[in-house]
Amino acid sequence: MQPIKYQYIKVNRIDFRLEVTLARPEKRNAFTPTMVNEIAHAFQSVNDDDGIKVVMLKAEGPVFCAGMDLKIFQDVDLDMPNPQIKNKDLSLGEVFASLHKPSIAIVEGNVIAGAFLIIAGCTYVFCSENVQFRLPELNLGIFPFQVMASLLQVMPEKKMLQLCLHTDYFSAREAMEYGLVDGFLEEVDTEGFLAKFKDISSSAIVAGFKAARELPSVASEKRYGFLLKKLHESKSSEDVKNRIV
């Protein structure tokens, strides 16, 4: 992985996984354009590294993420650019959609506003039972526009709209009912769960995730043909040949 000093996140490579930690606790890990671009840079490094099979998302401090730092997004001059990364105008949801490896969010603090882009963008979400979730945007006179696309990946449109209209905190149990949470940290053996990814083929993971991202744009009557083509492409890979005896 290309060495780089991040300002708003921390990364730690542990064997076959990369831990990415939101590290702006004094601002409740509210993300800025620079933080979004740093996460994008880390994810691109993951995509380029066959040795990394899974990404773990964590956060410092009592709040997992309070969403977008509105003051900085209104005045980007308040942000602190990373001199090693050229900032692009990226949505955090777009960044998570660009990751072609499984991701696991370990959530031990509240999830607020744009933080839903993270948890809805992760493959798995394990949280503490006392964590609370909230979409307060309407109280600020705005609608959670970007979050809508991410929420539609895990729930029907009707439920998504109801959630966007509900500005109060709701519980982790309710988040699980919505499909936003997959398990509670008090009940999940996270290390054992992570270990399952160790021997999985990186090329198969990447091919599968890329196909899943493309599938919505393929006409329904052509999807099986599209996926059959992807299967034939995968069967001819060196990894498959080495695994079949």
pTM of the predicted model over 0.85: yes
117-173 residue pLDDT tens? 999 999 999 999 999 999 999 999 999 999 999 999 999 999 999 999 999 999 999
What was the pLDDT predicted at 224? 95
Confidence of residue 90 (pLDDT cuts 50, 70, 90): very high
Confidence of residue 241 (pLDDT cuts 50, 70, 90): low
Residue 72 CB neighbours (<10 A) = 19
Q: Say how far apart CA 196 and CA 53 lie, in whole Å.
A: 10
What was the pLDDT predicted at 1? 46
Residue 230 CB neighbours (<10 A) = 16
| pLDDT of 72 above 80 | yes
What was the pLDDT predicted at 3? 72
Sorted by sequence, the CB contacts under 8 Å of residue 125 that are 6+ apart come out as: 104, 105, 107, 119, 180, 181, 182, 183
- In percent, the amount of the chain with pLDDT more than 70 equals 96
